Amino acid sequence: MGSFPPYVRVLWACSALLQLIALILLFAKGGFRKLPFFTVYVALNLCQVAFLVCVYSIWGSDSPRGTTLAWCSECVTLLAQALATTEILKVTLRPYQGIWGLVWRALAFTSTFVVLIVALTTRGAWVSAGWFELNRGYHLTFAAAVIACLLLFRYYSVQVPAAYKMILGGFCLYSCTEILIHTVMQSLAKKAFYAYEPIWQSAPTVSFIVVLFIWVAALWKPLPIEAPEAAPPSDSIYQRLSPEINERLRELNEKLLRLWRLEARPQ
Amino acid sequence: MNFPLLLLFGFAVLLMLLLAWVLRDPRKLPQPDVDLGYAEDLDRRHVTYFPQVRQAMAAEDSAFLASRASQALTRRVQRERRKIALVYLSCLRGDFLKLWRLARVLASMAPQVGAAQELERLQLALAFSWRYEMIRMKFLLGFAPVPELGSLSEVVSRLSIRLETTMKDIGERAALAAKLTSSLDGRGLDTP
């Protein structure tokens, strides 16, 4: 731990403090009952700080063993992050069963697509920077999938409570900044990595601190009470009316096309 | 920075922009429930004036005017017709958006949503938006001759009548579904 400059240690302390506040808020306001996975995620992050302090104190931040252990702990928190996000999406979409069916398909499709892109763009880099690429690939997939879900929410006018939106937005913001930092650092690493090492050490922590501020603001008030689930209308209504509406929309499209042709006709 | 890194960088920036767009201004999001009665009223109002509009826009009227009136007046009438064509266009778009929104509300309430149906609707919306903007731009910039609005109004009129019927039908079905749902929910407790 001594190998890190003082400002990095200060940033870590700030981050730990904010995580502690978020955890206390989750328990004090009863949020842990509504979002158990998110609570576990925050708790795991806090544990990770303590774990990394121990690891870096014993083996140092440059030793292969220390690095491997640090990345392994990161894998655990990233898994918890994915579970926490899915939990929030599910809670939000509880009254919208049909949309949830679409969302998980969108999640699967987007994730597969992004994983393929990542695999293609990082060919040959696995030997030298496996953990690094895995981490960036994960964040890329995660951010794309969550944003695809948020787009679907917007498309179907699904009302997402502000607190959940802030938590999801925070996750995405962190993932996007991680991708940017990783990408910029990767290009700099080829020239003079050590000159930019302070940025590498502090930038992700700073972005995480910003996200933690957003989460603390979101958790400050008790999480919204779930609306009682109304009995959905019969499935046959959608099955019958949806093709009918599509047919009408197609007709309107044809009218527009006809207008185009009329407009092209000389007077 | 090599090409793959640039691609990743661009993708990350795009994601951030999308995130900002998705999270902005939640108050302006349309409400999930559609006022079907209001929609019906609007349609009915449009339909009421179609015969008058059709008469005013008839091609014969134009020809008559061109043979009798001054060039300035003819040009003015052309301008007016162009404006009316734009209004027609926006009415057509209004009808489309109304139905599109209704379909989304229907999907959001459905216990099971067909991905193919939704995808088809999205494609239709994209195609419609593209064509609408193209035609509108051509009208606005004056690149296009004014269409035969007489025949066009007939097309829209027939369409609006059919839309009105459809909307009414959907409204009645939605109301029936809501009634059924509430009666199933209440289990008759709300009855005296």
* Domain definitions of chain B by residue range: 30-167
pLDDT tens, B127-182? 888 888 887 887 777 665 555 554 444 444 554 555 556 556 656 665 665 555 55
Is B9 part of the contact surface with chain A (CB cutoff 8 Å)? yes
* pLDDT over 50 at B33, yes or no: no
Residue stretches of chain A with pLDDT short of 50: 264-267
Sign of CA pseudo-dihedral A126, A127, A128, A129: positive
Shortest Cα distance, chain B CAs vs residue A6, angstroms: 30
A214 touches B at CB < 8 Å? no
Residues A219 and A239 in one domain: no
Instruction: Report if residue A218 sits inside a domain.
Output: yes
Same domain, A38 and A168: yes
A143 — phi, psi (to 5°)? -65, -45
Residue B93: which pLDDT band, with cuts at 50, 70 and 90?
A: confident
- CA of B29, closest CA in chain A: separation in Å? 7
Scanning every residue of chain B, which has its alpha carbon at the shortest distance from the alpha carbon of A251? B159
**Which residues does chain B have within 8 Å of residue A121's beta carbon, measured at their own beta carbons?**
4, 7-8
Task: Report the chain B residue with the minimal C-alpha distance to residue A145.
Answer: B15
**Model pLDDT, residue B164:** 57
Distance from CA of B22 to the nearest CA of A (A): 6
Asked if residue B9 has pLDDT above 60, the reply is yes
Of A159, A243, A263, the CB nearest to B145: A263
In a domain, A256, yes or no: yes
- Check whether residue A108 and residue A33 sit in a common domain: yes
The partner residue sitting opposite A263, judged by closest CB among B124, B138, B166, is B138
Q: Is residue A87 part of a domain?
A: yes
* Least Cα separation, residue A92 to chain B (angstroms): 13
**B108–A96 C-beta distance less than 8 A:** yes
Query: Are residues A73 and A151 located together in one domain of the fold?
Result: yes
Flag if B9 and A242 touch (Cβ within 8 Å). no
- Residues A12 and A71 placed together within one structural domain of the fold: yes
> How is residue B144 annotated by DSSP?
S
Q: Does B148 touch chain A (CB under 8 A)?
A: yes
Q: Do A105 and A191 sit in the same domain of this protein?
A: yes
B20 interfacial to chain A (CB closer than 8 Å): no
**How many domains does chain A fold into?**
2
CA dist A152 and A166 (Å) reads 17
Mean predicted lDDT score pLDDT of chain A:
81
Q: What is the pLDDT of residue A157?
A: 80
- Helices A162-192 and A64-92 pack at an angle, to 10 degrees, of 150
Residue A175 to residues A182, B18, B47, Cα–Cα distance (Å): 10, 13, 52
- The pLDDT-based confidence of B51 (bands split at 50, 70, 90) is low
**Domain of A260, in residue numbers:** 234-267
Q: Which of A63, A59, A58, A48 is nearest to A16 (CA)?
A: A48
- Do B118 and A234 form a contact (C-beta atoms < 8 A)? no
Minimal Cβ distance to B8: which of A183, A238, A246: A183
Percent of chain B whose predicted confidence (pLDDT) is above 70: 54
| Chain A residue numbers touching B117 (CB-CB < 8 A) | 242-243, 246
A105 plus A215 within the same structural domain: yes
B134: amino acid identity, one letter:
M
| pLDDT greater than 60 at residue B101 | yes
CB contact under 8 A, B109 and A249: no
Place B192 in a pLDDT band, splitting at 50, 70 and 90.
very low
Three-state SS letters, A18-59: HHHHHHHHHHHCCHHHHCHHHHHHHHHHHHHHHHHHHHHHHH
Cross-chain residue pair B108–A266, CB shorter than 8 Å: no
Q: Residue A217, by phi and psi: left (phi above 0), alpha (psi -120 to 50) or beta?
A: alpha
Asked if A187's CB is within 8 angstroms of B107's CB, the reply is no
Shared domain for A188 and A90, answered yes or no, is yes
Residues A169 and A262 in one domain: no
CA distance B133 to chain A (A): 11
Candidate from A101, A172, A265 with C-beta closest to B147:
A265
The residues, ordered by sequence, that sit 6+ positions from B110 with a Cβ below 8 Å of its Cβ are A97, A98, A232, A233, A235, A237, A238, A242
Give the residue from chain A lying closest to B153, CA to CA. A259
Please tell me which residue, A139 or B2, carries the higher pLDDT value: A139
The answer to whether B152 faces chain A, any CB pair under 8 Å, is yes
Chain A residue with CA closest to B184: the answer is A231
Residues 22-51 of B with CB under 8 A from A: 22-23, 26, 29-32
DSSP E strands, A172-251: none
**Subunit contact B8:A140, Cβ cutoff 8 A:** yes
In angstroms, the CA B2 to CA B11 distance is 14
Helix axes A36-59, A64-92, angle to 10 degrees: 170
Residue window 59-98, chain A: list those with CB within 8 Å of chain B: 96-98
* pLDDT-based confidence at residue B105 (cuts at 50, 70, 90): confident
- The HSE-up count of residue A61 (CA atoms within 13 Å, CB side) is 11
CB A49 within 8 A of CB A4: no
Average pLDDT over residues B38-67: 59
Residue with tokens 């134009």: B62
Residue A35 phi, psi dihedral angles, 5° rounding: -125, 70
Give domain status of residue A1, yes or no. no
Beta-carbon contacts of B76 under 8 Å, excluding residues fewer than 6 positions away, are: none
Q: What is the pLDDT of residues B58-68, one digit of tens each?
A: 666 777 777 88
> Does residue B56 register a pLDDT over 80?
no
pLDDT at B28: 57
Clarify whether residues A38 and A123 are in a common domain: yes
- Interface confidence (ipTM) of the complex: 0.77
Buried b (16+ CB within 10 A) or exposed e, A112-130: eebeebbeebbeeeeeeee
Pairwise CB contact (< 8 Å): B15 & A147: yes
